[in-house]
A and B are shown apart, each in its own frame.
Chain A
Amino acid sequence: MNNKLWSVLSLLAVVALLGACAQPAPPAAPPAAAPTTAPAAGGCKDADRVPISWSTIAGFYTDAMTSIVKDFESKNCVKVTIVGIDNAQLYDKQIIEAVGKTGAYDVYNIETAEKAGFAENGYILPMDDYIKANADKVKYDDIAPVLADVTTKYKGKIWGLPYYTYTQGQFFRQDLFDDPTEQAAFKAKYGYDLKPPTTWDQMTNVAEFFTRKKGAMLKGQPLDKDFYGVGLMAGRFQEIQDELSGMILYKGTDWLKDDGSIAVKDEGNLWALKFYVEKLLPYAPPAALTVTYDGVMNQMQDCQIAMTANFFLDQWPNAANTENKCPGSKMGIGVGIEKTTYLGAFLMGVSSSSKHPKEAMDFVAYMAGQEAQTNFARQGGSTTRISVLKDPQFNTPESRPKTAHFAYLLQVFDNMKDKKSNLFYSPYGAKLYNAMGPIYHTAAAKEVTPEQAVQTLYDEFVKICGGEKCTVNK
């Protein structure tokens, strides 16, 4: 045969070989339930290390964890590959790998609303046996109980361990509330003392009060740009739902009732959206319609807003940085309006397609464990462990820029112990959660009325759940 023919056939052979290489991995072995003793990694050669991978959010969350992962590697004969993925793509990417059973990720990073779907579909392994066998190492009871419940439990089983909470509270410019001129002006206008708002009516009053045009006075000084009462996450992201969450739960309702029936257009849900659109948005910067939490933090640091609505407390290091960037500012923290806020944490769950589930569980237990969480907290991470939240080293003036929110997290967990949304126990939770943001945003952008938006949301819920009731498994 001539040379050309050989080259053509060789090319075909390469293509066939590439196809053959893409064979699916063999099924994973079941996890061991026996107590695990970390092998001494000192004598472990790199070639002997068990490889596992962790898909997680690119950015701060992962950067802070890198050194802790190295600690784990130094104590275990395991090599961890951290796969940092943009938050907006993380769920999609993980689901694709989970459905394909590729085993690409041994440990998933799972949002609270996604947990039930991952568990229901068998994408992650239950960790009950592991936790029972390693009770001293895991110290499950040390995780804030309400957080442990909403983030790890489904159908009576434990599906992983949480390592980072984004539970909400509130941030405000304490210096504005402390200013005598502002206090007097507020009292004259509204008839009561100026203080960080604790009710929604106070919230709208304070937001209105501080909304001022360029040139107006604030703390006795003329403003060089427009100033707004409240920063909102009203962009076309999921976080608008998180902002509305506390308002909906405060009204004693939820997106799904206990029996699974869809409540998104009931009185409480409609009140929340109407209040948000009519009583809060007018006092937010125009950019509110395009931003999420990072945008609100930018507005705060740029001296544009007086406070947030209910907002992720894990953002405290960014909020505290306002004091460095906005001259004369002093930041304060609250437990959230009406003491009712969004609650959640990132769960580390072990993939059912993992080739090394035991090592993956060891890794999860380590990362969510007390030692790692203490290190994580030192770097500004929002821990899920009560003992770390209460640790005196995180309640000092020196630690304030990173951990002043810990004391408030403890209060929020206590306030929220009986207010757990049914959304977190529905296998449709992730889809419902993903559907909410864009639809609520249409009302915020005034493309539709709040009434139309909740009707659209109801129809979308019916479509996703396949009827007027969604499965809820507490």
Chain B
Amino acid sequence: MESAATKNPGPATKARRTMSDTWYSILLIAPAMVIILFFALVPLFYAIDVSFRQADLTMGGIQGFVGLRNYREVLHEAYFWQSVRTTVVFTFFAIVIEMGLGIFVAFLIHGATVGKGLIRSLVILPLATAPAVTGLFWRYLYDTQFGLYNYFLSVLGLPWQPNWLGDIKLGLWSVIIFDVWLWMPFVALIALAGLQSLPKEPFEAAELDGASSFRVLRTLTFPMLTPVLMLVFILRTIDCLRLYDSVATLTRGGPGSVTETLTYYLYRQGLVFFRMDYASTMALLFMYAVILASGYALRPLLARLAMRAGQR
């Protein structure tokens, strides 16, 4: 029996008659490529070019070729390394807590018997607002004079009145707590979606075999969830590494310089001091590092996906 498509060839089929599949495909992706070219690749190549030049926008603009001088100076800059260290420390603790708490919350919601939809909606609330806006709210929550957190501490009769955003020992942790509040739900939701999509048969078989809950978790749940968790881990890591908005709204890099992350330092170099050469160099170094790190982290996931594709 002939299909309707064969009887009445649509516009797509007609197009293939006038040009090859290759050209047709190229034509289809051309608009997207033009946008990517203009908004991603051109700035990237421009940044590479600027990183090899003297470029102080307020002092002569973009000038001559200086070779690797900018790279040398940036790599010898104490503040640069301090901001790298801050970024790495922030990323490590934020990711560990977000992943741990997020997975825990996902299991709690997955196991809930009533109100699952409501809980899911409540959990997603922090994600519904821009970090820049919630950051400003949190700045007031953390305030030592008018903040709710210190108020609650005093209501509980605790003598401790922390200077959340003004104490160099607490500053970074205050940003981490905010980030966990903001992004843990994202981890939880993705993990929950992963949990809900797991096939039931292996778990039923394990139950019949009398496997303990811990063993089911260790040998079935987590291995099957790994691709999803790996993906969310990589997404969150990249996001943490480029942390800017929370710092800009909560601490502006303070107290002292303990929350000055790489991207915030980069912003200061580029848009406060207008040293586009340094800013471009830092941005490129940062990009190389992220590509390397994410490539390394993605390797097992990609290998697994390739293996699955091969099996099919």
Query: Could you tell me which A residues sit within 8 Å of B by CB distance?
Result: 1-5, 8, 11-12, 15, 19, 91-92, 95-96, 99, 117, 121, 235-237, 285-290, 298-299, 302, 304, 427, 430-431, 434-435, 438, 441-442, 445-448, 464
Interface class of chain A by DSSP: helix
Is B18 in contact with chain A by the CB < 8 A criterion? yes
Is B163 in contact with chain A by the CB < 8 A criterion? yes
Query: Could you tell me which B residues sit within 8 Å of A by CB distance?
Result: 11-12, 14-15, 18, 27-28, 30-31, 34-35, 38, 57-59, 61, 143-146, 161, 163, 165-168, 251-258, 268, 271-274
Number of A-B contacts (CB under 8 A): 112
Which residue on B lies nearest to A448, using beta carbons?
Answer: B256
A8-B274 in contact (CB<8A): no
Complex formed: what's the CA distance from A163 to B38 in Å? 42
Residues of A within 8 A of B268 (CB): 438
B15-A434 in contact (CB<8A): no
A15, A96, A438: residue with the most chain B Cβ atoms closer than 10 Å: A438
B143-A287 in contact (CB<8A): yes
Which of B57, B61, B251 sits near A236, CB closer than 8 Å?
B251
B251-A2 in contact (CB<8A): no
B12, B57, B58: residue with the most chain A Cβ atoms closer than 10 Å: B58
Complex formed: what's the CA distance from A307 to B143 in Å? 21
Complex formed: what's the CA distance from A3 to B14 in Å? 10
B31-A11 in contact (CB<8A): yes
Q: How near does chain A come to B163, taking the closest CB pair, in angstroms?
A: 4
> Given the interface contacts A8-B27, A299-B145, does A286 sit within 8 Å of B15 by beta carbon?
no
A99-B58 in contact (CB<8A): yes
B168-A5 in contact (CB<8A): no
A438-B143 in contact (CB<8A): no
Complex formed: what's the CA distance from A362 to B270 in Å? 34
Residues of A within 8 A of B15 (CB): 2, 4-5
Q: How near does chain A come to B95, taking the closest CB pair, in angstroms?
A: 25
> Given the interface contacts A4-B11, A290-B165, does A236 sit within 8 Å of B273 by beta carbon?
no
B256-A447 in contact (CB<8A): yes
A445-B57 in contact (CB<8A): no
B258-A447 in contact (CB<8A): yes
Q: How near does chain A come to B83, taking the closest CB pair, in angstroms?
A: 12
Which of A96, A121, A438 sits near B257, CB closer than 8 Å?
A438
A2-B11 in contact (CB<8A): yes
A236-B145 in contact (CB<8A): no
Please give 16 more A-B residue pairs, beta carbons under 8 A apart, in addition to A2-B11, A445-B254. A3-B11, A5-B15, A8-B28, A12-B31, A15-B31, A15-B38, A99-B57, A117-B58, A121-B59, A287-B163, A290-B165, A290-B254, A290-B255, A298-B146, A431-B58, A441-B255
Q: How near does chain B come to A287, taking the closest CB pair, in angstroms?
A: 5
> Given the interface contacts A99-B58, A445-B166, does A8 sit within 8 Å of B256 by beta carbon?
no
Which residue on A lies nearest to B147, using beta carbons?
Answer: A287
> Given the interface contacts A99-B57, A290-B255, does A2 sit within 8 Å of B14 by beta carbon?
yes
A289-B35 in contact (CB<8A): no
> Given the interface contacts A11-B31, A92-B272, A95-B274, does A289 sit within 8 Å of B58 by beta carbon?
no
Q: How near does chain A come to B252, taking the closest CB pair, in angstroms?
A: 5
Complex formed: what's the CA distance from A117 to B272 in Å? 13
B255-A447 in contact (CB<8A): yes
B252-A15 in contact (CB<8A): no
Q: List 12 A-B contacts (CB under 8 A).
A: A4-B12, A236-B254, A286-B167, A289-B167, A290-B166, A298-B146, A434-B273, A445-B166, A445-B255, A446-B256, A447-B257, A447-B258
> Given the interface contacts A95-B274, A434-B273, does A441 sit within 8 Å of B58 by beta carbon?
no
Complex formed: what's the CA distance from A81 to B165 in Å? 38
Complex formed: what's the CA distance from A252 to B274 in Å? 32
Complex formed: what's the CA distance from A11 to B61 in Å? 35
Which residue on A lies nearest to B258, using beta carbons?
Answer: A447
Complex formed: what's the CA distance from A315 to B257 in Å? 29
Counting from the closest, the 7 A-B pairs by CB-CB distance are A447-B256, A289-B166, A236-B254, A445-B256, A445-B255, A286-B163, A442-B256
Which residue on A lies nearest to B171, using beta carbons?
Answer: A445
Q: How near does chain B come to A86, taking the closest CB pair, in angstroms?
A: 11
Complex formed: what's the CA distance from A458 to B35 in Å? 45
Q: How near does chain B come to A367, taking the closest CB pair, in angstroms?
A: 26
Q: How near does chain A come to B85, taking the closest CB pair, in angstroms?
A: 14
B273-A431 in contact (CB<8A): yes
Which of A285, A289, A447 sits near B145, CB closer than 8 Å?
A285
Complex formed: what's the CA distance from A434 to B58 in Å? 14
Which residue on A lies nearest to B267, using beta carbons?
Answer: A92
Which of B57, B251, B258 sits near A95, CB closer than 8 Å?
B57
> Given the interface contacts A2-B11, A299-B145, does A446 sit within 8 Å of B168 by beta carbon?
yes
Which of A8, A12, A286, A299 sits near B166, CB closer than 8 Å?
A286
Residues of A within 8 A of B167 (CB): 286, 289
A431, A434, A445: residue with the most chain B Cβ atoms closer than 10 Å: A445
Which of A2, A302, A435 sits near B18, CB closer than 8 Å?
A2
Residues of B within 8 A of A92 (CB): 271-272
Complex formed: what's the CA distance from A167 to B251 in Å? 27
A445-B273 in contact (CB<8A): no
Complex formed: what's the CA distance from A126 to B86 in Å? 45
Which residue on B lies nearest to A88, using beta carbons?
Answer: B252
Residues of B within 8 A of A99 (CB): 57-58, 61, 274
Complex formed: what's the CA distance from A19 to B38 in Å? 10
B27-A287 in contact (CB<8A): no
Complex formed: what's the CA distance from A285 to B272 in Å? 29
Which residue on B lies nearest to A447, using beta carbons?
Answer: B256
Residues of B within 8 A of A91 (CB): 272
> Given the interface contacts A8-B28, A95-B57, A289-B163, does A236 sit within 8 Å of B253 by beta carbon?
yes
Q: How near does chain B come to A143, taking the closest CB pair, in angstroms?
A: 27
Residues of B within 8 A of A290 (CB): 143-144, 163, 165-166, 251, 254-255
Q: How near does chain B come to A326, taking the closest CB pair, in angstroms?
A: 14
Q: How near does chain A come to B224, taking the closest CB pair, in angstroms?
A: 42
B30-A285 in contact (CB<8A): no
B38, B144, B146, B253: residue with the most chain A Cβ atoms closer than 10 Å: B144
Which of A3, A12, A438 sits near B34, CB closer than 8 Å?
A12
Residues of B within 8 A of A285 (CB): 144-145
Residues of B within 8 A of A434 (CB): 272-273
A287-B273 in contact (CB<8A): no
Complex formed: what's the CA distance from A441 to B274 in Å? 21
B58-A121 in contact (CB<8A): yes
> Given the interface contacts A5-B15, A302-B145, A434-B272, does A95 sit within 8 Å of B58 by beta carbon?
yes
Complex formed: what's the CA distance from A287 to B140 in Å? 11
Residues of A within 8 A of B252 (CB): 235-237
Which residue on A lies nearest to B255, using beta carbons?
Answer: A445
Which residue on B lies nearest to A19, using beta carbons?
Answer: B38
Complex formed: what's the CA distance from A406 to B145 in Å? 31
> Given the interface contacts A4-B15, A8-B31, A12-B30, does A289 sit within 8 Å of B273 by beta carbon?
no
Residues of A within 8 A of B251 (CB): 236, 290
Complex formed: what's the CA distance from A446 to B168 in Å? 8
